[in-house]
Amino acid sequence: MDVPSVFSILKVGIGPSSSHTLGPFLAARDFRGLIAARGFAEGQLRAVLLGSLAATGRGHLTDAAVAAGLAGYDLEHGTAKSLPAVLAEVQAAGAVHVAGLRFAFRPDEHIVFDPSARDLPHPNTLRFQLTDGNGRALYGEEYRSLGGGAVAGGTLGPGPGWGQGGFTMTEVVAACRARGIDLAGFVRENEARLGLGGDEVDRRLDLLWAAMEDAIARGLCTRGVLPGPLVLARRAPGMYEELRHRARQVLSWETAQASVYAIAVAEENAAGGRVVTAPTCGSAGVVPAALKVLQEKFDFPDARVHDALLVAGLVGLAVAKNASISGAEVGCQGEVGTASAMAAAGACYLLGGDVEDQVDRAAETALEHYLGLTCDPVYGLVQIPCIERNAAAAVAALNAASLAVLTRAEDKIKFDAVVAAMREIGRDMDRKYKETALGGLASLVGRGPVGESGASHGPSA
Ligand code: SF4
């Protein structure tokens, strides 16, 4: 079985999008390193964003992420500056410095959005070029942002093999049964096989869970308006206050609380904040919201939540390897749908679900009801429908987990079959529903991506 590291899917990222922000940032940073490694002393840098990156890149801050990567910012570990501030700074400087040498680069001129290209190696393709003073090409690289912050190209190689198969959950469950271990134990063994000791696994889980909790906490206390033409007010702090004062007016405190937590993280993500890809930035609120609510209700120690994260990550890996976690490839079923399945599996594990059937059942139940879900973000922003969609998926995950632990019957459909269906549906889905902001809600409300005719002047509804 070819099971990649769980930390290839769960990692600290910057919002608003793992494929359109984090991935391009990592690609740009890699190209910057190559410029230095190859000893270029001067020239002009250029980036070309293609496919979905061109269609929704402005709303997803792809240009700012590219500028930050080329300029050498360390966004993963936090920077005091927001992405728009970084973009403005690079624009004003008209250059970036690599190994102390100046390379001309003005984002508004040297980042090109080209949605017309067809037959791309991936819907999220981007190219970097270094030219001399006469516009002659000196060096170039092509990258593919595969989803969840995974990138192929340059020194990053072919990436983690998303979409290429390698293992199924049925095989994993059989291996667990044969070895008498549970799913978290399976992931720990796999990490050891990949060279990661138990202490390092625990250290990373500690950081990830802390980053998830931190994103919830920041989202619950940060007010104001989200960036972009929607001028959308952040509402998690107000909802949190209301919930504490009106507990009797909600049908279920746990589901209301999970919704507020998910919205808190999703708003942080939309603001370009630090979140954990689970499996992506756009869907980053689902897993922490579901697990945090269960931890608070049942007082689970962090160590047990860490194991639930391993289970959730394993489910995300199964989707990434056998279908896709990229909205540009399969629509939102691959992002929020996968997040809901991950959260359901993690929640079911926390609730004592057995490895034989119940965890698989929880993931299957959650994902099944997201099949066919389109990615049609208004104005190409990760705000509407994305933020509320995180809340709905967290609640769906908790429901799927409780259905799974209450059921003692043979499952007619296994999780692997739903993943295969998602792949087929994603392949057949029209391009306008795959992170291009050209169809569905985006075409009715936002009239296409930001920057297209008429779309940058504010909502029409
Ligand atoms: S609709 Fe879903 S896949 Fe598309 S940007 Fe929003 S969260 Fe991501």
Q: 163 in ligand 1 pocket by Cβ < 6 Å? A: no
Q: How would you write the pLDDT of the chain (461 residues) with one tens digit per residue?
A: 999 999 999 999 888 999 999 999 999 999 999 999 999 999 999 999 999 999 999 889 999 999 999 999 987 665 557 788 899 999 999 999 999 999 999 999 999 999 898 899 999 999 999 999 898 999 999 999 999 999 999 999 998 888 899 999 999 999 999 999 999 999 999 999 999 987 999 999 999 999 999 999 999 999 999 999 999 999 999 999 999 888 778 888 999 999 999 999 999 999 999 999 999 999 999 999 999 999 999 999 999 999 999 999 999 999 999 999 999 999 999 999 999 999 999 999 999 988 778 999 999 999 999 999 999 999 999 999 999 999 999 999 999 999 999 988 788 899 999 999 999 999 999 999 999 989 999 988 755 555 543 333 232 22
How far is the C-alpha of 413 from the C-alpha of 364, rounded, in Å? 8
Is residue 243 located within the same domain as residue 190? Answer: yes
Point out the ligand 1 atom lying closest to the alpha carbon of residue 280.
8
What is the extent of the structural domain holding 178?
Answer: 169-453
C-alpha separations of 254 from 112, 240, 294, 297 in Å: 46, 12, 8, 8
Q: 329 in ligand 1 pocket by Cβ < 6 Å? A: no
pLDDT tens by residue, 276-292 = 999 999 999 999 999 99
Is residue 78 located within the same domain as residue 107? Answer: yes
Among 156, 177, 212, the domain boundary falls at 156
pLDDT tens by residue, 411-420 = 889 999 999 9
Is residue 60 within 8 A of residue 16, CB to CB? The reply is yes
Is residue 431 located within the same domain as residue 370? Answer: yes
Among 101, 122, 156, the domain boundary falls at 156
pLDDT tens by residue, 424-459 = 999 999 999 999 989 999 988 755 555 543 333 232
Is residue 138 located within the same domain as residue 261? Answer: no
Instruction: Give the DSSP per-residue string, 189-234.
Output: HHHHHTT--HHHHHHHHHHHHHHHHHHHHHHHH--SB-SSTT-PBP
How far is the C-alpha of 234 from the C-alpha of 231, rounded, in Å? 9
pLDDT tens by residue, 119-169 = 999 999 999 999 998 989 999 999 999 999 999 999 999 988 888 999 999
Is residue 198 located within the same domain as residue 133? Answer: no
**SS3 call for 454:** coil
335 Cα–ligand 1 center, Å = 7
Is 161 within a domain?
Answer: no
Q: 386 in ligand 1 pocket by Cβ < 6 Å? A: yes
- Of all residues in the chain, what percent are helix, strand and coil, respectively (each to 5)? 55, 10, 35
Is residue 337 located within the same domain as residue 252? Answer: yes
Is residue 93 located within the same domain as residue 147? Answer: yes
Neighbours of 102 (CB within 10 A): 14
Among 133, 156, 179, the domain boundary falls at 156
Give backbone dihedrals phi and psi of 170, rounded to 5 degrees, phi first: -60, -40
Is residue 126 located within the same domain as residue 198? Answer: no
Is 33 exposed, middle or buried (CB count within 10 Å of its CB: 0-12, 13-18, 19+)? middle
Point out the ligand 1 atom lying closest to the alpha carbon of residue 390.
7
User: Is-above-0.85 flag for pTM?
Assistant: yes
**SS3 call for 417:** helix
Is residue 383 located within the same domain as residue 416? Answer: yes
Could you tell which of 263, 336, 429 is best to mutate to test the pocket of ligand 1, judged by most ligand atoms within 8 Å of the CB?
A: 336
Domain count, the chain: 2
Is residue 233 located within the same domain as residue 362? Answer: yes
Is 9 within a domain?
Answer: no
Provide the CATH number for the domain around residue 123. Answer: 3.30.1330.90
Residue minimizing CA distance to atom 5 of ligand 1: 382
Q: Report which of 142, 149, 199, 193 is spatially closest to residue 15, judged by C-alpha positions.
A: 149
